[in-house]
Amino acid sequence: MECVIMTEETLGQKIKRLRDAAGISQRKLAIATGIDLSYINQLENDRRGGITMTTAAKLAQALNTTADVFLNGQMDAAPLDRPFSTLMVELERKYNEAETKQLVKLPVLGSVSAGVLEMREQNKMPTNYVEILRSRLDSSINLEQLYALEVKGNSLEGDNIFDGDYVVIQRDAIFIDSKIYVVKIDNEVVLKHVSMQGDMVKLWSTNSHYKEQIVNASKVEIQGRAIKKVSDEDL
């Protein structure tokens, strides 16, 4: 007799199954919930450890289920027995409204280490993009000066920036001491807090497992300031 082993559905598989059942794309789900598209993509691919109660509630409302389905790992994640047509009309309305808003498409130029100094080659031509509503960016910013990088490592977890997140970088940003910058040292590129100390530069993290570094300013090239994380609704 053949034995069938039931495997527990992951959070990402559960979200995708319910989204597919509703017949909506990731983008429509992002618009309906107010959660960034890249974050939903990370959730469905199980690249996040879990979600907040707020995020679970937003997903539940859009997917016609209950928040505890996502928080408690219930196996029987199924739509509720309530009229779905009204929900879909509202979702479509939000989607159509969002379509009239300006979306900024930023190239992902590569990845950057938020841990030990590690070389991360940036692609000459972008192979991926992230989308952000223009209203979430300062109106004075020149969009041509913006690009995105994928974060590798956990040295900035104190800033709510985790491995796999995307950050928006502004090339021509005015230097503000202690902010987060993309820094090139020789052939190595890292994402760190930067403080100027005379002719020296202090690079530091918000994870106590990483030591600060003091280097000569002549060896440091600042390639832009991180102005936003492309992730959850905290944007």
Boundary of a domain, candidates 53, 81, 99: 99
C-alpha distances in Å from residue 157, one per residue of 4, 39, 76, 177, 233: 41, 16, 33, 19, 17
Boundary of a domain, candidates 73, 99, 125: 99
CA neighbours within 13 Å on the CB side: how many for 20? 8
Query: Which CATH number characterizes residue 47's domain?
Result: 1.10.260.40
Share of the chain above pLDDT 70, in %: 76
Same domain membership, residue 118 and residue 199: yes
Decide if 221 contacts 182 (C-beta within 8 A).
no
Confidence of residue 128 (pLDDT cuts 50, 70, 90): confident
pLDDT (tens digit, 9 = 90+) per residue, 63-92? 888 888 888 755 444 454 444 455 556 666
Alpha-carbon dihedral angle through residues 132, 137, 173, 158, given to the nearest 10 degrees: -70
Of 111 and 221, which is predicted with more confidence? 221
Of 152 and 95, which is predicted with more confidence? 152
- Domain span including residue 93: 11-99
Same domain membership, residue 129 and residue 83: no
For the chain, how many structural domains are there in total?
2
Q: Among 34-43, 89-98, 190-199, where is mean pLDDT lowest?
A: 89-98
Please tell me whether the overall predicted TM-score, pTM, comes out greater than 0.75 for this model. Answer: no
Same domain membership, residue 211 and residue 157: yes
Same domain membership, residue 18 and residue 67: yes
